Every structure is written in C-alpha cells, then in structure tokens.
C-alpha cells in the first residue's frame, strides 16, 4: 500500500515537472534542470528529529550530499547543523549561515591551516589519525582550541553491498582501526594525555550498508567510550558522533528504511547510546535529500540500433556520474513525460536512456520498459536530490544545469532559483581563457631566458 508520504511526493514532483515546462525552466532553451522538493526536505528533517525523540543530539547535514548554499540555508533554518569535509564546504556552510558551534569538520587530509581555523573558531574537529593528532597538539599548545575535539575510530565491522561506500572495513582509509594490534591501547593513551579530547566519532558507511552493520559499529564505539571513561576514572568523553549512513530506497517513492527504523535498530543493539548519558551528533546526507530531488531532461532524438530503441537526452554522466559508471550499484528510476511535462500512459516498450557525453557507456538506464519516447518528450531521473546536483562531472565541458526548489500546492507550483545554469562563457573562463597565450609564449621564449639546470637554486639551499 502506498504511503501518504509517497503519494504527496509523487504528486508534487509531477506538478513541478509540468510547471517547469510551462514556465520555460525546462525546454528547448534549457534542456536540463534539477528540481528540489522544499516541503519534502523539511519533512525529512522533521522525520529525523522525531525519530531520536528526547535524546540530546545535534543533527548535522553532510554538505557533500548537496553543497548548494540555498539548500544548506534551508537546512540551517530547519534547525540542522552541518558536517563539512573540505575548505570549500566550510565556506559554503558559513555562507549559508551556520554558526561555527553547529559545524563539524571531518576529512582524512586536513591541512594545518584548516585545523587552525576550525579550532580557533569553535568548529568541532574529528581527528582522523595519530599524525593529525600531533598537529592538533601543537595548535592546542597555542591556546587555539575553542570547540569540541574528537578522534575518529574505525570499528572494522565489515563492508556493505557497495565497497566504495563502506568505511568500516579492515583496510578503510578512515579513522584509527580498532582491531589492529595496540590500537585500542593507543586511543586510550591519547585521551589520557589530553583532557581536551572529549568526543569519539565513527561512521560505518552509507548506501548499501544494512542497519545491523551500522548498529554493530556504533555498539563498538559506545563500548570504547565507556572503556576509556572507566580507565581514566572520569567522564572525559561526553560526545559521540555516530555519523549517518541511512541507506536510500531507489526502487520506489517510499522511505525504506526510515529514520525511525534506524533508531529502533540502535535501541535493540545499544540502548544505552540513546539514554542521554552522551550528547550525540549525526551526519546524515543522502537520506535527507535523495528522494526530494528530480532531474528533468528533454529528449533530443530517438533512434534504433540492433533492434534496441534509444532515447538521447541531456542527462548523462555529467549529472549522473555514479549511475553511468556503476549502474548495478546506483540504478535510478526513470519517468516518461510528454512535451508538456505530463506523465505518458502509452504502451511500454524496451528502451535505453542515453546521455549527451561522447562515450558509448553514457547510459542512465538500459533496457527499461517505458512509454515510447519521442523527440520533445521529457525524461525524469528520480531520487537525485543528493550528490547528483552538486557533484558535476565536466566531461565534454558540458555546463552545470540550473537547479530550482519548488513548493507544490493544490492549484499552483512556486519555484525559487537555487543555482543559475552555467553559461558557456563561464565554462570557457573556468578552462583557463585568462591564460590563453601562456603556453605559446612559453614556447616562444628563448632558452637562454630561462635558468638552466645548473643555474636553478638547490632546493635544500632555498629552504634554508
């Protein structure tokens, strides 16, 4: 039975697609567009908050999932914090209005300057490894720490169905591997020597990771926190960052599993985690945004090859990179709409849905039974609100599409611009046109005008 959430989601999406065509947001002049369901996003945030009930928790949004400033602003307004993993994401979060104390800095490759800035401004930092910990030691010695500082651990509980999304494997690049010889003792010693360490962080993985696997990793993290506090004889660890990772159902419009399912699994596996003895931090991303986004594309041409019908669209690897290169792991549902953006109900035929990129594998769907598509029709890629809008792959120098948020009422749809479509002039500018003659000028320079190898300074002498 279809839930009320799924029915509302589908109705709003169909209304938005029709109005996007009617208002010229999607059409011959703009053959590719991203659409975000604003009410759906807020409902997802409400579902997350309700699932954890009265447990003290800071819910942060993983900026990597949709690093668009208006989206981040919407989430901040809904009461979320933000997890960032790069200088760019940090700047986007600050531009969106997140207060520093509601930010968390992750990343396995933080520079000294990134750490310095975060510590000085009260941004929480999750340290990834012991070398990074040594850097933080030096910065804390300068009295720069103004926010929570934790250590990320890898409980090594195994992989889910998608290896690339599994971060708690035996050889994961993230965190301190707890089952390696001496690792637990080293972590305990790190906390014993540093009273300013007050947080443990673990993230088991995301898409493809079943709820019991995630819960097992968090059980190990909770037990380590208890062990550390017991050994130290004080409750030094007060916060547990339990990451995110709720997998998304890409098969239909239902939320399955739900945030409530996730919390129920945690209550069964590690009930103490939710009793309020630790302040929690979450880092959900895909599960908040994916089902609230749609990519709409005009069908430019249709053809047959070897008896297979093919619809050529403007949505390919540049916007659906993971789906094109790993279709088994990242399949997307496809909707067929007519030239007015209305659902097609003609008999289904087997078709491939191809993108515009110049390589044979640029296919977002293969062998799908869909109403027969014709030039001028619209194809919709569902569940694309996370990663598909903000992780553009600039293959063939294809410009980034416009993204709009929408609210669909009973009789009308209102749109707001999230990101303007990238212009061709901007594409050229990003490709270095300010330096058009640089290499030609370099070639025309006389060799005598450049220092020879003998004339170049010795690197060690230069460093001195």
Rounded Cα distance between 266 and 260, Å, is 10
Alpha carbon 268 to chain centroid, angstroms: 28
Q: At a CB cut-off of 8 Å and minimum separation 6, what does 374 contact?
A: 299, 302
* Core vs surface per residue 367-406: b (16+ CB within 10 A) or e: ebebbebeeebbbbbbbbbbbbbbbebebeebbbbbbbbb
pLDDT value, residue 105:
98
% of the chain beyond a pLDDT of 70: 96
Residues 339 and 416 in one domain: yes
**Element housing 217 (H / E):** helix 211-232
Residues 277 and 160 in one domain: yes
Residues 25 and 154 in one domain: no
Domain count, the chain: 2
Does 164 score more than 80 pLDDT?
A: no
- Which tens digits make up the pLDDT trace of 34-52? 999 999 999 999 999 999 9
Rounded Cα distance between 19 and 65, Å, is 26
Phi-psi bin for 276: left (phi > 0), alpha (psi -120 to 50), beta? left
pLDDT value, residue 450:
56
Rounded Cα distance between 66 and 88, Å, is 13
- Which tens digits make up the pLDDT trace of 61-71? 999 999 999 99
Does 451 score more than 70 pLDDT?
A: no
In a domain, 88, yes or no: no
Residues 328 and 365 in one domain: yes
pLDDT value, residue 240:
98
Residues 29 and 111 in one domain: no
Rounded Cα distance between 331 and 323, Å, is 6
pTM above 0.85, yes or no: yes
Active site residue 358: yes
In a domain, 89, yes or no: no
Residues 454 and 422 in one domain: yes
- Which tens digits make up the pLDDT trace of 353-372? 999 999 999 999 999 999 99
In a domain, 61, yes or no: no
Residue 41, both tokens: 């996003």
Does 98 score more than 70 pLDDT?
A: yes
- Which tens digits make up the pLDDT trace of 283-312? 999 999 999 999 999 999 999 999 999 999
Strand partners, 81: 60
- The closest alpha carbon to 286, from 217, 361, 365, 203, belongs to 203
Does 461 score more than 80 pLDDT?
A: no
Domain of residue 129, CATH code: 3.20.20.10
In a domain, 255, yes or no: yes
pLDDT value, residue 207:
83
Domain housing 237: 106-284
Strand partners, 57: 280
Q: Which of 66, 82, 357, 358 is catalytic?
A: 358
pLDDT value, residue 171:
83
Mean pLDDT across the stretch 86-99? Answer: 98
- The closest alpha carbon to 335, from 365, 376, 375, belongs to 365
Does 460 score more than 90 pLDDT?
A: no
Does 266 score more than 90 pLDDT?
A: yes
Phi-psi bin for 56: left (phi > 0), alpha (psi -120 to 50), beta? beta
């Amino acid at each position: 039975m279809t839930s009320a959430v799924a029915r509302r989601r589908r109705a709003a999406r169909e209304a938005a697609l029709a109005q996007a065509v009617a208002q010229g947001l999607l059409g011959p002049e703009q053959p590719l567009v991203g659409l975000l369901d604003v009410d759906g996003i807020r409902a997802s945030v409400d579902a997350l908050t309700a699932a954890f009930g009265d447990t003290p928790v800071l819910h942060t949004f993983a900026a990597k999932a949709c690093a668009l400033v208006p989206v981040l602003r919407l989430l901040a307004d809904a009461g979320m914090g933000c997890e960032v993993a790069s200088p760019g994401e940090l700047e986007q979060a600050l531009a969106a209005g997140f207060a520093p104390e509601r930010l968390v800095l992750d990343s396995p490759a933080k520079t000294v300057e990134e750490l310095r800035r975060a510590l000085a401004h009260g941004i929480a930092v999750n340290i990834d490894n012991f070398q990074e910990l040594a850097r933080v030691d030096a910065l804390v010695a300068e009295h720069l720490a103004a926010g929570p500082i934790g250590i990320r651990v890898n409980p090594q509980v195994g992989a889910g169905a998608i290896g690339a999304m599994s971060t708690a494997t035996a050889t994961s690049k993230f965190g301190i591997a707890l089952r390696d010889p001496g690792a637990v003792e080293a972590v305990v010693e790190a906390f014993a020597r540093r009273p300013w360490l007050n947080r443990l962080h673990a993230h088991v993985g995301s898409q493809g990771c079943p709820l019991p696997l995630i819960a097992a990793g968090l059980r190990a993290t909770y037990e380590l926190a208890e062990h550390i506090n017991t050994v130290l004889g004080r409750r030094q660890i007060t916060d547990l960052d339990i990451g995110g990772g709720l997998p998304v159902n890409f098969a239909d419009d239902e939320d399955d599993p739900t945030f409530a399912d996730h919390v129920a699994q945690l209550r069964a596996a590690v009930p103490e985690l939710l009793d309020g003895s630790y302040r929690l931090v979450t880092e959900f991303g895909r599960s908040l945004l994916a089902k609230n986004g749609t990519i709409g594309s005009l069908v430019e041409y249709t053809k047959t090859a070897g008896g297979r019908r093919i619809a050529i669209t403007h949505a390919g690897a540049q916007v659906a990179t993971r789906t094109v290169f790993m279709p088994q792991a990242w399949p997307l549902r496809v909707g067929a709409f007519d030239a007015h953006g209305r659902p097609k109900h003609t008999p289904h035929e087997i078709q491939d849905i191809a993108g515009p990129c110049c390589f044979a594998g640029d296919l977002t769907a293969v062998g799908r039974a869909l109403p027969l598509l014709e030039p001028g029709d619209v194809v919709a890629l569902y569940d694309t609100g996370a990663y598909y809008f903000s992780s553009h792959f600039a293959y063939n120098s294809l410009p980034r599409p416009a993204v709009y948020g929408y609210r669909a009422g009973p009789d009308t749809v209102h749109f707001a611009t999230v990101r303007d479509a990238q212009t061709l002039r901007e594409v050229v500018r990003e490709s270095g046109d300010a330096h058009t003659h640089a290499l030609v000028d370099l070639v025309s320079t006389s060799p005598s005008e450049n220092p020879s190898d003998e004339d170049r300074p010795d690197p060690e002498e230069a460093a001195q």
